Amino acid sequence: MQISQRISTLSESLTIAITAKAKQLREAGVDVISFSAGEPDFDTPQIVKDAVMAAMNKGCAKYTPVPGTNEVLKAVATKLERDNNLKYATSQIITTVGAKHALFNLFQAVLNPGDEVIIPSPYWVSYPEMVKYSGGVSVFVEADDKSGFKITAEQIEKAITPRTKILSLNHPTNPTGAVYTKAELEAIAEVLKGTDIIISSDEMYEKLVFDGEFVSAASISDDMYARTVTINGLSKCGAMPGWRFGYMAIPDESLAKAIKRLQSQSTSNISSLVQAGAVPVLLGEADADIAMMKAEFLKRRNRAVELINKIDGLSVSSPAGAFYLFVNCKDIEPDSMKFCDAMLEKAQVATVPGVGFGMDGYFRMSFATDMNSIETGIARIAEFVRGY
């Protein structure tokens, strides 16, 4: 069967593909240690399961309004006000099938053919593909380890053209863990003043900031609030990746209405049960579970950074947030795809090549896995590097 031109240029998500390959190998009996998955190894908090059971027993089987039940929309609004100092009416919020769906909705709803999206690089694998699928053009602005993998306001200013429609921000950043300070966001706000550029602010790893504090782009000023679509979800911070709960908060009523129209013709509401399960987390009732996970991630980050930096030829700076190390392997092998393929084959350790995030000569390893796997896996990496 013929597929459309639009989809024929779309690549599969590399992070998902490698994670699936590692799982397959493991099921086939190969002793693979996987640092590829961007998902917490912790189970979903009990309070979520209880809320879903209660909803099920109450008979929660009907369609809900497309953006979500009043209860879940109010819970998102409460969360955004409490954690991010952002006020939204429930009419400005839409719940989505993970944050991925929120991003997809946004790109589909605002991009016309040839519109440009500024994407700081290294970037999360799905941004350029979603932009391309929506008819847009990605304009990459590169950060490196000298700048702590953060781009500057000046770089953004230089990248802006009359076609710029969106600035895509994501912090804590996947894959580098970079966290922008309030001052850095203020400088970005300054260069955007007077433009009608929309910010897509992906805040998925918000609760996983180890050094410094998290600041939402929309909270910087009224001008930033008016141009920012805040996107978040519970896959990472709520340990609920398979549940598929995301949301978007949209300042502009007409854009919110447009996205509701789009969603009414695609997924309709997200699962009614998932909405019920998300409510206690949004209301802060799982905060102790989140704090426990964060403390554990911090220990793992410190140990993984220490062990990687002991390996001759590899280096990594300590990520301020999220649960990834973006490891420099340039001195050993600048071709990250080749390096990661060989590492999986010879050392049975799965990582994601930096080239998938727009930066060759690096690989990403997730430390959202138990300490024993971290220590054993990095020992295997060390041996692999010695023999490379």
Binding stretches for ligand GLU (CB under 6 A): 13, 15-16, 37-38, 100, 124-126, 174
Among 33, 169, 198, 204, binds ligand PMP (CB under 6 A): 204
Beta-bridge mates of residue 350: 34
Tell me whether residue 45 or residue 307 sits nearer to ligand PMP (CB atom): 45
Q: Work out how close the CB of 235 gets to ligand PMP at its nearest, in angstroms, rounded to a whole number.
A: 3
List the single partner that 359 binds among ligand GLU, ligand PMP, none, CB under 5 to 8 Å by kind: none
Q: What does the block give as tokens for 67?
A: 């953006």
- Which ranges of 85-208 would DSSP assign to H, the alpha helix? 98-110, 126-133, 153-159, 182-192
Tell me whether residue 241 or residue 251 sits nearer to ligand GLU (CB atom): 241
Phi then psi for residue 328, to 5 deg, are -80, 120
The residue written with tokens 């979603």 in the block is: 130
Tell me how far apart the alpha carbons of residues 84 and 45 are, in angstroms, rounded to a whole number: 22
Amino acid in position 275: Q
Tell me how far apart the alpha carbons of residues 142 and 359 are, in angstroms, rounded to a whole number: 9
Give yes or no for residue 238 binding ligand PMP (CB under 6 A): no
Tell me whether residue 38 or residue 136 sits nearer to ligand PMP (CB atom): 38
Sign (positive or negative) of CA dihedral 379, 384, 387, 388 = negative
Sign (positive or negative) of CA dihedral 377, 383, 386, 388 = negative
Give yes or no for residue 201 binding ligand PMP (CB under 6 A): no
Site string for ligand PMP, 57-96 (x = CB under 6 A): ----------------------------------------
Tell me how far apart the alpha carbons of residues 362 and 383 are, in angstroms, rounded to a whole number: 18
> Among 321, 80, 94, 106, which residue's Cα sits nearest to residue 219?
80
Give yes or no for residue 333 binding ligand PMP (CB under 6 A): no
Among 98, 136, 277, 361, binds ligand PMP (CB under 6 A): 98
List the single partner that 16 binds among ligand PMP, ligand GLU, none, CB under 5 to 8 Å by kind: ligand GLU
List the single partner that 207 binds among ligand PMP, ligand GLU, none, CB under 5 to 8 Å by kind: none
Tell me how far apart the alpha carbons of residues 347 and 332 are, in angstroms, rounded to a whole number: 16
Tell me how far apart the alpha carbons of residues 296 and 23 are, in angstroms, rounded to a whole number: 24
Q: Work out how close the CB of 174 gets to ligand GLU at its nearest, in angstroms, rounded to a whole number.
A: 5
Give yes or no for residue 202 binding ligand PMP (CB under 6 A): yes
Q: Work out how close the CB of 157 gets to ligand GLU at its nearest, in angstroms, rounded to a whole number.
A: 29
To 10 degrees, the CA torsion angle through 16, 19, 24, 25?
150
Tell me whether residue 240 or residue 355 sits nearer to ligand PMP (CB atom): 240
Cβ burial of 310 (10 Å; 0-12, 13-18, 19+) is exposed
Residue 325 CA, chain-centre distance (Å), reads: 14
Among 128, 233, 354, 356, binds ligand PMP (CB under 6 A): 233
Q: Work out how close the CB of 230 gets to ligand PMP at its nearest, in angstroms, rounded to a whole number.
A: 12
Q: Work out how close the CB of 204 gets to ligand GLU at its nearest, in angstroms, rounded to a whole number.
A: 8
Tell me whether residue 174 or residue 275 sits nearer to ligand GLU (CB atom): 174
List the single partner that 202 binds among ligand PMP, ligand GLU, none, CB under 5 to 8 Å by kind: ligand PMP
Tell me how far apart the alpha carbons of residues 364 and 178 are, in angstroms, rounded to a whole number: 13
Are 230 and 86 a contacting pair, CB within 8 Å? yes
Give yes or no for residue 170 binding ligand PMP (CB under 6 A): yes
Q: Work out how close the CB of 366 gets to ligand GLU at its nearest, in angstroms, rounded to a whole number.
A: 7
Where does this chain bind ligand PMP (CB under 6 A)? 38, 98-100, 124, 170, 174, 202, 204, 233, 235, 241, 246
